[in-house]
A and B are shown apart, each in its own frame.
Chain A
Amino acid sequence: MHLPKFDYERLTSAEEAGRLLGRYGGDARLVAGGTDLFPRMKYGLLRPRVILDMKGLSVKSPEVNGDGNLRLGAMTSLAGLARDPLVREKAPLLAEAALGVGSVQVRERATLGGNICLETRCLYYNQSHTFQFTQACFKRGGDLCYLVPGGKKCLAVFCADTVPALISLGASIGIGGPGGVRRILLEKFYTGDAVQPLAISPTELVTEVIIPARPRIGGEAFAKFSVRGGVEFAAVTAAVALRMESDGATCSAAVITVGAVSPAPRRARKAEEALQGKRLSPELFGESARIAAGEISPLPHHGFSAPYLRECLEVQIRRALEAVAKRVRS
């Protein structure tokens, strides 16, 4: 497999990025690490006329604002996130999630912005279609689904590991475009439409991530289940963040975000509510996880059946909650 031919421009500044995106529009693609983009280009899923390479742009170091928010440049590598002392202190959940991505080599190249903008995945879609699956599915502009024959829409899943963590941390992102920078809650960035999973236009780019200060008492945990345990997209991810009352034992607010089982990351809101105002206990965790497994219907993907993923999701959420409880106590 060879990359299709394309023109190449190496960006030197964010302004230039904006200018060139304005000029090329949908014909251009930004590339940072390229770990998601280039395989898709090799598969023939994407044929941009021009590649705008962001490697030349300066990478902003993580910093804490006056308001206590953690600001991360979108060009920060996942490996860089995982080892940055500030990130590990202010957003250990993100560091933990970043460490679960791909392999050492992938994490060194892949960026936070790239992970946030990851395409949805499906076994049928993520391969070249030179002699099999040649009829276009929904995702490739056709009108059929191979995964669910007779299905009415694309059921590819969103697998980025860092995103459930960021959503559970209440992160927002900065998006630069022709009209300047807009800031939205990351949760709102995902459309739920597997064909167009991101609420971003071709002339925009994700520039930064802002994570609110950690609660005074609380804790977070991330769980990723995959068969190989590395170099693999998740079967299920669960990111849990709890804010605690001053007694350190009662949950005042919870965010549970589940990844990899639907076209967008999903909040388990009923499971979150079940935790609110309650004293932490194994029984409570079990109940909350059960509720989550009831309110989220996983899509079968990558060879895993829906019933298995539902069971797995419950276990991962319960384990994440148990892990949080240990961290709150310590």
Chain B
Amino acid sequence: MEDTLDYVGKPVPRKDGPEKVTGRARYTVDIRLPGMLVGGILRSPHPHARILNIDTSQARRLPGVKAVITAADTAGVKHGFVETPRYPADQDPLATDRVRFVGEEVAAVAATDPYVLAEALDLIRVDYEPLPAVFDPEEAMQPEAPEIHPSHPLVKEPFSNIAGKTETQWGDVELAFEMSDYVRQDRFESHLRTHGYLEPQATVASFEPGGKLRVWTSSQGPFIKRAKLARTLGLPYSAVRVSKAWVGGAFGGKIDLFSHEFCAALLSMKAGRPVRIEASREEIFTAYRHGQPLILEIKTGVKKDGTIMAQKIRTVNNCGANRGSGVVVIFLAWGFVMLPYRLPNLKYEGYAVYTNNPIRTPQRGHGAPQVRFAVESQLDMIAEELEIDPVEIRLKNARQSGERLPNGDNVHNCGLTQCIEKAAEHTRFREKYGEKYGRGRSQPPQTNEQTPSGSIRRGIGMGVSAYFGGSLIYPNSSSCVVKMGEEGGATLLTGAIDIGQGAETILSQIVAEELKIPVDEIQVIAADTETTPVDIGAWISGSAYVSGNAARVAATQVRRKLMHLAAEELGVPVEELDMAQKSVYMVRSPEKRLSYRQIVEASIRKRRGDSIIGEGHWRTMRDEPTHPSLASTKGRWSENYAFDVQVAEVEVDIQTGHARLIRAVTAHDCGFPINPLLVEGQIDGQVSMALGHAFMEELLMKDGRTLNPSWLDYRMPTAHNTAISEYIDVITEAYKKDAPYRTKEVGEGYVSAILGAIANAIYDAVGVRLVSTPFTPEKILRGLGKLT
């Protein structure tokens, strides 16, 4: 029997909407506790220096100063985004003997008001001995470069400052290049960009009598924060409780432990009063963790018909002053290379290189935008050379359902071919692409300004991307509890955090569906390390799959209990019953029914007071002990892969060099949309984020210092810069009652293909092939030969 879905798959409005748009939602900065102090951080002015002495005596004597901490006050425990035997924790919450980037945290103060705080920070005297610094990763790799940290002991090449290396290969690349009809090598570079979460980083910490540390912090998951806070503070997990506050955007930038969180906690422990630290926007732009600029050198060999034979890829990541997630990106870059297209021979090496820049962290896509920009650009260059159209060459190489990936994963249902075909058809891609120059583009692009169309040229381009949906990184799994209420509604307890992606809404939809209770009558208690079960966190793109299946299992348990009780009460077999509108009814005579309220009453009456509670647990790749090796890529990576094709249409002004995205079409296989409205929101958000990265956003740095640390000068797009965004769903999975579902991710993959699509569209428009992001007016004019 086909399930009829009432709540899953429906465009249910976000549950948090009313609270947020009416200003009632409580974010971390809204939390006010009695006696709360304001905390702040003293940062390094040097990109690289030895700390000779820190004198806090004057600051401590200042009236209104309640606590001052330096590394000497800490437990001396390091932390890191990655903490594995190969890559052990390497970050001190406060600098010990050296600082390695401008803005590194050196000391922290808690005071009664911001003015006292500022004065106290001014009164801390730090003696530095500046050291030579290096900012460019390829310079930092040179043997004679200043040493930021010793190169990783397992990397044998004579390079300096190697934080980590990922290396893998299959097939025989050199032989495959020999057998190829056409081989080319290109170099692509991406720039430094940041998340642009509107809510600043903020933490309130309150160390309470009895020894419990309460924490509210703007995060992407409370459990990893608790673990890292407890470890660095030398407390048991049970002494730390991280609770929910609403989060105003994160995009990967609020996952791992930040020094301000540690400092707020330690200051509160020292002062015996609550402490709040809110990072200023300038601090976030200059000293916090951004995305990662990658350099990719790609050599690709193809057959005449466009079949990819082999790729040889070298990635260099400007990873900043510590490993951060820099050693993860060089692993992920391999994955984003091999996912969408069949790749029989690969040799991949990726280096994460220490530089005297701020530490890096994931940013939506975590390497995919940089990688797909490079691969998709080069694929178009190849297609042009072979006189194949861009659609054809992508269809030729696209992975198909059931294909096994070289790492042993399976793509299961894969709608990539359909995505390519539908996107091409919807945008009339084949008619538009290259129309100005004839097929094969042997003629130079027409850039004479005196043409009838004025100075605007239009172009169209295509990009492909794929993304994994959940992997194994602490806390690895999700659990949920669903409790029936006495009035027939239900309460969901989940550790998942809603960071604006709609986690609470989709989990409610799933519970609503399993129990046939309206979404409005599902209450959610979320993201509290003490009152809710563990959750994987709003990162690694696993929420809808992992937390969602946990919620489904918990709700299913409740449903079974309701059905069995109803069967008992009505004196009929369970098979003759079904549920609708908060009641269980007999299929053959629907007027015979028991409301959930009645069933809950019966349960308490007959079963020694049992209320009805269900629990559910889920883990991706449940038989795998851990995540794949970051160094060798060996091991399972994910159970679910989403695929997407994005087509960009751009306009380029050949006089000013100004380019803009005017239309984006996203054809995607996200499995199935639990909430189509939220999927559209994710796509729109990613398209606008990508166009910011493509055309305007760039953190300008010189010698480790940030030149544009403000919303004014770091140009995020405004509403009027956004492009028309259209969607084509390619549904390859289904949600069925009583069965695990395999939905895929929608939150990160669609920020990636569009970047390559835009680059290809600019080329289509004006014949300028850009091999570095962002696509600035200056680069385009240079490409047009107008600047000397």
B241 contacts A by Cβ under 8 Å: no
| Residues of the B chain whose Cβ atoms lie less than 8 Å from the Cβ of A127 | 282, 709-710
The interface bits of chain B over 744-788 (1 if a CB of A lies within 8 angstroms of the residue's CB, else 0) are 000000000000000000000000000000001110010000111
- Chain B residue at smallest Cβ distance from A146: B702
Contact with B along A219-232 (1 / 0, CB 8 A): 00000010111111
Q: Tell me the bound Cα distance from A307 to B44 in angstroms.
A: 35
CA distance A109 to B721 in the complex (A): 24
Q: How far is the CB of A31 from chain B (nearest CB, A)?
A: 19
| Most chain B CB within a 10 A radius of its CB, from A126, A132, A229, A308 | A132
CB-CB < 8 A to A302: which residues of B?
708, 713
Interface residues of A in 284-330 (CB under 8 A from B): 302-305, 307-308, 311-312, 315-316, 319
* Contact between chains at B715 and A123 (CB < 8 Å): no
Query: Which residues in A have their C-beta under 8 angstroms from that of B658?
Result: 225, 227
Q: Is A24 an interface residue (CB 8 A)?
A: no
A311 to B780 CA separation, bound complex (whole angstroms): 12
In the bound complex, do residue A132 and residue B781 qualify as a contact, i.e. CB atoms below 8 Å apart?
Answer: no
Could you give, for residues 697-716 of chain B, a 1 whenever the CB lies within 8 Å of some chain A CB and a 0 otherwise?
Answer: 01010100111111111010
Which A residues are CB-close (under 8 A) to B696? Answer: 227-228
Residues of B within 8 A of A229 (CB): 720-721
Is B700's CB under 8 angstroms from A123's CB?
A: yes
Is residue A201 within 8 Å, beta carbon to beta carbon, of the partner chain?
Answer: no
Contacts A227-B658, A228-B715 given; indicate if A131 touches B44 (C-beta within 8 A): yes
Decide: A308 and B707 in contact? CB cutoff 8 A.
no
State the CA gap A227–B720 with chains docked (Å). 12
Contact, CB under 8 Å: B778 / A308: yes
Contacts of B708 in A (CB 8 A): 123, 302-303
Contact A123 B713 (CB under 8 A): yes
A5 to B280, CA, bound (A): 18
CB of A307 within 8 A of CB of B788, answer yes
Given contacts A1-B282, A230-B720, contact A303 B787 (CB under 8 A): no
Query: Is B300 interfacial (CB 8 A cutoff)?
Result: no
Any B CB within 8 A of the CB of A133: yes
Q: Shortest Cβ distance from A150 into chain B, in angstroms?
A: 15
- CA–CA, A270 and B702, complex, Å: 37
Is B344 interfacial (CB-CB < 8 Å)?
A: no
Residues of B within 8 A of A38 (CB): none
The answer to whether B713 touches A312 (Cβ under 8 A) is no
Least CB distance from B276 to A in Å reads: 14
- Give per-residue flags for A122-151: 1 if the beta carbon is below 8 A from chain B beta carbons, else 0: 011011101111100000000000100000
The complex places the Cα of A1 from the Cα of B721 at a distance, in Å, of: 29
Is B45 a contact of A231 with CB atoms below 8 Å? no
**If the complex has contacts A123-B700, A307-B787, are A227 and B695 also in contact, measured as CB distance less than 8 A?**
yes
Decide yes or no: A227 and B777 within 8 Å by CB, A123-B707, A232-B715, A303-B707 being known contacts: yes
Instruction: Give which listed residue, B103, B713, B717, B777, contacts A132 with CB less than 8 A.
Output: B103
Report yes or no: B102 in contact with A131, Cβ–Cβ below 8 A: yes
When distances are taken between beta carbons in the complex, the residues of chain A under 8 Å from B281 are 1
Residue of B whose beta carbon sits closest to that of A227: B696
Contact status A311-B786, CB under 8 Å: yes
Q: How far is the CB of A271 from chain B (nearest CB, A)?
A: 17
A311 adjacent to B713 (CB under 8 Å)? no
Q: How far is the CB of B785 from chain A (nearest CB, A)?
A: 11
Asked whether, in the complex, the Cβ of A132 is within 8 Å of the Cβ of B705, the reply is yes
A2 contacts partner chain B, Cβ-Cβ < 8 Å? yes
Contact B718 A308 (CB under 8 A): no
- The count of A-to-B residue pairs whose CB atoms sit within 8 angstroms is 86
Are A312 and B777 within 8 A (Cβ)? yes
Chain A CB count within 10 A is highest, among B708, B709, B715, for: B715
Asked whether B619 is an interface residue with its Cβ less than 8 Å from the other chain, the reply is: no
> Which A residues are CB-close (under 8 A) to B702?
146
Interface: B286 (CB within 8 A): yes
Q: Is B51 an interface residue (CB 8 A)?
A: no
Q: Given A227-B658, A227-B695, are A305 and B778 neighbors across the interface (CB < 8 Å)?
A: yes
Task: Flag if A128 contacts B707 (CB, 8 Å).
Answer: no
Cβ-closest chain A residue relative to B114: A2
Query: Hey, which chain A residues are within 8 Å of B712, CB to CB?
Result: 126, 231-233
Least distance between A119 CB and chain B CB atoms (Å):
14
A312-B715 Cα distance, complex, nearest whole Å = 19
Number of interface residues of B (CB under 8 A): 45
8 Å CB contact of B718 from A1, A230, A304, A315: A230
Nearest CB in chain B to that of A304: its residue = B778
CB contacts under 8 Å to A, within B110-140, are 114-115, 118, 121
- B532, CB-defined interface residue at 8 Å: no
Q: Is the CB of A228 within 8 A of B717?
A: yes
Q: Which residue of A lies closest to B103 (CB)?
A: A131
- Give complex CA distance A39, B569 in Å: 70
B286 partner, pick from A2, A103, A132, beta carbons under 8 A: A132
Does B656 count as interface, using CB distance less than 8 angstroms?
yes
- CB-defined contacts of A316 to chain B, threshold 8 Å: 656
B516 beta carbon closer than 8 Å to chain A = no
Among B656, B715, B720, the residue within 8 A (CB) of A225 is B656
- Smallest distance from the beta carbon of B43 to chain A beta carbons, Å? 4
A5 touches which of B115, B282, B706 (Cβ 8 Å): B115
- Docked Cα-Cα span, A126 to B709, in Å, equals 9
CA distance A69 to B103 in the complex (A): 54
Determine whether the beta carbon of B45 is less than 8 Å from that of A134: yes
**Which chain B positions have C-beta within 8 A of A146?**
702
Q: Is the CB of A132 within 8 A of B102?
A: yes
Chain A residues whose C-beta falls within 8 Å of the C-beta of B180 in the assembled complex? none
Q: Which residues of A contact B710 (CB under 8 A)?
A: 126-127
The smallest C-beta distance from A188 to any residue of chain B, in angstroms, reads: 30
| Chain A residues with CB below 8 A from B709, complex form | 127
Instruction: Give complex CA distance A221, B700 in Å.
Output: 33
**0 or 1 for each of A194-236: is its CB under 8 Å from B? (1 = yes):** 0000000000000000000000000000000101111111000
Is B655 at the interface (CB under 8 A from chain A)?
yes
Which A224-260 residues sit within 8 Å CB-CB of chain B?
225, 227-233
B671 to chain A, nearest CB (A): 36
Query: How far apart are the CA atoms of A121 and B613 in the complex, in Å?
Result: 63
Alpha-carbon distance A36/B718, docked complex (angstroms)? 21
* Shortest CB distance A43–B (Å): 8
Q: Which residue of B lies closest to A315 (CB)?
A: B655
- Residues of B within 8 Å of A319, CB to CB, are 655
A127 CA to B280 CA, complexed, in Å? 12
Contact of A228 among B103, B114, B718, B778 (CB under 8 A): B718
Q: Is the CB of B43 within 8 A of A130?
A: yes
Verify B700–A128 contact, CB threshold 8 A. no
Q: Write the chain B residue with the least CB distance to A286.
A: B449
Task: Give A158 Cβ to nearest chain B Cβ, in Å.
Answer: 16
A229 to B719, CA, bound (A): 11
The residue on A at minimum CB distance from B708 is A123
**Minimal beta-carbon separation of A289 from chain B (angstroms):** 11
Closest chain A CB from B705 CB (angstroms): 4
Chain B residues positioned under 8 Å from A231 (CB to CB): 711-712, 718
Q: Mark B394-423, 1 if CB is under 8 A from A, else 0.
A: 000000000000000000000000000000
Given contacts A123-B700, A123-B707, A132 and B45 within 8 Å (CB-CB): yes
Q: Which 7 A-B pairs have the closest CB atoms?
A: A131-B43, A123-B707, A308-B778, A132-B705, A315-B655, A228-B715, A131-B45
A-B contact pairs, 15 of them (CB 8 A): A1-B281, A5-B115, A123-B707, A131-B44, A131-B103, A132-B45, A227-B695, A228-B715, A232-B712, A302-B713, A308-B781, A311-B781, A311-B786, A311-B787, A316-B656
A127-B709, A132-B102 are known; give 11 further A-B pairs, CB within 8 A.
A1-B282, A2-B118, A124-B707, A127-B710, A132-B103, A146-B702, A227-B658, A228-B715, A231-B712, A231-B718, A304-B778
**B interface list, Cβ under 8 A from A:** 42-45, 102-103, 114-115, 118, 121, 280-282, 286-287, 655-658, 695-696, 698, 700, 702, 705-713, 715, 717-718, 720-721, 776-778, 781, 786-788
B-contacting residues of A (Cβ < 8 Å)? Answer: 1-2, 5, 103, 123-124, 126-128, 130-134, 146, 225, 227-233, 302-305, 307-308, 311-312, 315-316, 319
